[in-house]
Amino acid sequence: MMSLTAPTTQQEAATSTEAAPVRDLAALNAWLETLDAERRVEWALTHGHGNPALSSSFGAQSAVALHLLTQQKPDIPVILIDTGYLFPETYRFADELTERLQLNLRIYRPLVSRAWMEARHGRLWEQGMTGLDNYNQLRKVEPMRRALDELGVGTWLTGLRRNQSASRADTPIVQQRGERLKVSPIADWSDRDVWQYLKKHNLPYHPLWHEGYVSIGDFHTTTRWEPGMRDEDTRFFGLKRECGIHEDI
């Protein structure tokens, strides 16, 4: 069995104490790259900055990270940002996985309702890049920031993968975000790795996956994949890939 103790030159970074800045992220990431996803999770839960939580969009392949984390920490808080504009299938998928995996689901919502926002600002998602940015700040970034703060999260785990889009191609396994560590244990996984994990553990894709949706967010800014499209072209009318959660927090 591979040891979870880092080589001497990387040990200080790998065993950083709670809330202490990691001094050598490059060395730590180099070491974590040699571990499999399960051992990366074990490291994060053991040597992270405490109070771990997993964020999930309950998107196309979200069952992987949810299963991976709850195998080691069944009660880990799972943060879902309910924008009010998710697909009906997403709400049902969240219910299905919550029941099956006995998730400790924590749902956070924007401070303003759909009606309030649309009455005052109109349909922000139809107002170009500025409108999209304002929409995402109101309905995604602010609730996520509030969730992380209210739950006192010190170690934020995600299901980000490098091959999901060009904007994620350089995603490290661990990042320092202020006093918080952000850990993406399957950052280096391919689509085949995901498929094999889902098959091995008899886990489902999001139901819309089978209808041609490869990246699933809000219903008004998500489209089916068509030949000639990049996966990221199916989000935000092809103008952008990220909603801001993994850029601004």
Say which CATH number the domain at 181 has.
Answer: 3.40.50.620
243, 247, 248, 249: the active-site residue: 243
In a domain, 12, yes or no: no
| Domain membership flag for residue 241 | yes
Which residues does the chain have with pLDDT short of 70?
Answer: 1-21, 240-241
Domain contains 148: yes
Please say if 220 is a catalytic residue.
no
Q: Is residue 11 part of a domain?
A: no
Q: What are phi and psi of 77, to 5 degrees?
A: -60, 135
CA angle centred on 211, ends 209 and 213, rounded to 5°: 50
Quote the domain boundaries for residue 163: 21-248
> Per the structure block, which two tokens stand in for 123?
């349909």
Which pair of tokens denotes residue 207?
A: 């139901």
In a domain, 83, yes or no: yes
Q: Is residue 3 part of a domain?
A: no
- Angstrom distance (rounded) from CA 127 to CA 125: 6
Q: What is the pLDDT of residues 197-245, one digit of tens each?
A: 999 999 999 999 999 999 999 999 999 999 988 888 888 887 866 787 9
Dump pLDDT digits (tens) for 72-95: 999 999 999 999 999 999 999 999
pLDDT for 13: 52
For residue 9, is it within any domain? no
pLDDT at 248: 77
What lies within 8 Å, CB to CB, of 197 at 6+ separation is: 64, 67, 68, 189, 203
Kindly give, in sequence order, each residue whose CB lies less than 8 Å from that of residue 128, ignoring residues fewer than 6 positions away.
239
Residue 72 falls inside a structural domain: yes
Q: What integer pLDDT is reported at residue 55 of this predicted model?
A: 98
Total domains, the chain:
1
